[in-house]
Chains A and B, each alone.
Chain A
Amino acid sequence: MNIPREINVEEIDLIYIVSNTPAYLFKRMRGSESVLWMASNLSTEKLVQLYTYLRSEEGNNNYPVSLSYATLIALSTKELSLATDTLKRLPLIGLDWGKQILSIANSQAVPTLTTDLKFTPPRQRSLIFGGSTSENTLTIPSSVRLKL
């Protein structure tokens, strides 16, 4: 599997090397251009494929573990329910900070609820309190109805 050119492996690796806590790693990775590119341009399925490859024997031999963390953090930026479901299913074998990263991602996720409201124009006060309503009834003669 080819890693997209836009992902700067060296930059990701450097962030991983200098990170001394999972929180720092998460914060720095979220600000990384490569992770932002992954989050914006790769679908959830693509990221899962990439992560699965990186955790496979071939991927693990060819690419640093930092790239797996970067993919995991890119996945955490996806829509909440989708990301939560996907992240729960991913095996975290070989990632010492995997659980902590998922925990941080979970605590930072913001659920968003949208309510659609229909506006009803306010009625005239005279109609509400005055009681002065009128009705117009039109009676169509039977002859007209027959013509129709």
Chain B
Amino acid sequence: MIELQTLICCEIISRDADTNKLILVNLFEPLEAEAFPLFLPNFSVLAHFLRADTDPENPTGTLSIKVGVTEVLAAPMNIDFKGKMNTRAIARIQGLIVTEPGIVSTTLRIEGGVEGSYSFTFKLRVPHIQVSST
């Protein structure tokens, strides 16, 4: 059975062509924003899979991103083991709009029932007003 070992969401994922190592920039963690809707210009998802000899080389994956209960993105994700026992899949979403404060959850499902998710919260920042008496 295919195993989803890692699922991480961050702003930018860069792969070093020489060493094949990945650089992840700005992991998404609980965040606060001044106002909503909020536009995230870069949103990347990294998934790392392991498979056994009997598993298919090109399983079908579906990526889903929800803000609260609203699904804002659902798209197929290409997975190709290329004859190896492990593989990485990166999805780059060119701009994501977070319509309201809440939990942003990214879920990746692979045929055969494997599922993984990464969630973080967006809160509305309460403005701090300082009153000074003169």
**A119-B72 contact in complex given A78-B20, A109-B84, A113-B79, C-beta closer than 8 Å:** yes
For A117, give its contact among B15, B87, B92, B97 (CB under 8 Å): B92
Which of under 10, 10 to 19, 20 to 34, or 35 or more describes the interface residues of A? 20 to 34
B70 proximity list for chain A (CB < 8 A): 122
**Is A110's beta carbon under 8 Å from chain B?**
yes
Bound-state Cα–Cα, A117 to B81, Å? 20
B residues 1-36 with Cβ under 8 Å of A? Answer: 15, 17-20, 22
A-B contacts, CB under 8 A, total: 85
How many chain B residues touch A (CB < 8 A): the figure is 35
**Is B75's beta carbon under 8 Å from chain A?**
yes
**Is A133's beta carbon under 8 Å from chain B?**
no
Besides A115-B77, A115-B92, A116-B92, 13 new A-B residue pairs in contact (Cβ under 8 A), listed by A number: A40-B19, A79-B18, A107-B85, A110-B88, A113-B89, A114-B15, A114-B90, A115-B78, A116-B91, A117-B91, A118-B93, A119-B43, A121-B72
A-B contact pairs, 11 of them (CB 8 A): A78-B18, A80-B82, A110-B88, A112-B20, A112-B90, A113-B90, A114-B91, A115-B75, A117-B73, A117-B92, A119-B73
